[in-house]
Amino acid sequence: MKLATIRVSGGTRAVRIDGDQAVELDYLDVGAVLADPSWKSGAKETGNTYSVDGLNYATLVPSPSKIICVGLNYRNHILEMGRELPTYPTLFAKFTDSLIGANDDIALTKASVMMDWEAELGVVVGSTVRNCSEEEAAEAIAGFTIVNDVTARDWQNRTLQWLQGKTFEASTPVGPHLVAMEISKVTDEGLDLSCEVNGEIVQQTSTKDLVFNPVALVSYISQITTLRPGDLIATGTPGGVGHARKPPRYLKDGDRLVTRIEGIGELTNICRNV
């Protein structure tokens, strides 16, 4: 199953992607679909259809109750940053105002001169879980999406707490789709993940390189807080970020950022000074 949230006249709608058509569902967005306990057995359709070409994607879940992000979760990125493999996940949060759609412009704030790319696999929660086992966590995952956790490195490194560099408004594209797939495709077979800046591949890896996989993360986070349908977990970025390059490289006005994950799709975003 492949779901998306698109912009239509008067607001947004959830759609199911069937080949080259998007079938409109009777929900305002993917978050509302997942909040319906019967969503897996079939969501009610409105009868409207759209061509997949030219869809105006909104961010996948416009108002998740939580956006939890994981730092230092790819082995190659941890080594790139000169750190040791962690014993526990490094967690931080984002706010919903940071989220944008799959093809929206990324806002480069005047407050930062070190805006950096971070291609990530996103995990979307499909049912309410608290203190869950890994078996229960696997059942609670609705599917996967793409996130680019664009980061203001100068703000991130002002203190030991990362949040202030991670949640600037209109900086985090999410989408275009929620794709339900077997967990083993992510953890055992691995999905190809890549990021391009102006056509140059700057990040490329497999999700097999994750230190803490999606199931482990859902179980771990559920010990802290209740996870609810539509909650988003960004699982961390691989090596190749601009901040670790010599010399460092950061996003600038007009840069074209493309983030791809095998089987899910791609984000294509232009960076704009605001």
**What is the chain's pLDDT, residue by residue, as a tens digit (274 residues)?**
999 999 999 899 999 999 999 999 999 999 999 999 988 887 789 999 999 998 999 999 999 999 999 998 998 778 777 788 899 999 999 999 999 999 999 999 999 999 999 999 999 999 999 999 999 999 999 999 999 999 999 999 999 999 999 999 999 999 999 999 999 999 999 999 999 999 999 999 999 999 999 999 999 999 999 999 999 999 999 999 999 999 999 999 999 999 999 999 999 999 999 9
Strand, helix or coil for residue 39: helix
- Regarding the domain delimited by 67-273, which CATH topology (the fold level of the hierarchy) does it fall under? Fumarylacetoacetate hydrolase; domain 2 (3.90.850)
Domain residue spans of the chain: 2-51, 67-273
In this structure, are residues 175 and 57 in contact, taking their beta carbons and an 8 Å threshold? yes
Pairwise CA distance, residues 132 & 20, whole Å? 38
Strand, helix or coil for residue 78: helix
Rounded to two decimals, what is the model's pTM? Answer: 0.96
Region for residue 42 given its phi and psi (left: phi exceeds 0; alpha: psi -120 to 50; beta: otherwise)? left
Q: Which residues contact 250 (CB under 8 A, 6 or more apart)?
A: 113, 114, 115, 116, 153, 242, 243
Phi/psi of residue 41, nearest 5 degrees: -85, 0
Residue 55 pLDDT:
97
Of the candidates 154, 177, 174, the residue with the CA atom closest to the CA atom of residue 166: 154
Residue 127 pLDDT:
96
Q: Which residue has the tokens 């989220």?
A: 99
Pairwise CA distance, residues 170 & 152, whole Å? 12
Of the candidates 126, 112, 166, the residue with the CA atom closest to the CA atom of residue 38: 126
Q: How far is CA 173 from the centre of its chain?
A: 7
In this structure, are residues 66 and 189 in contact, taking their beta carbons and an 8 Å threshold? no
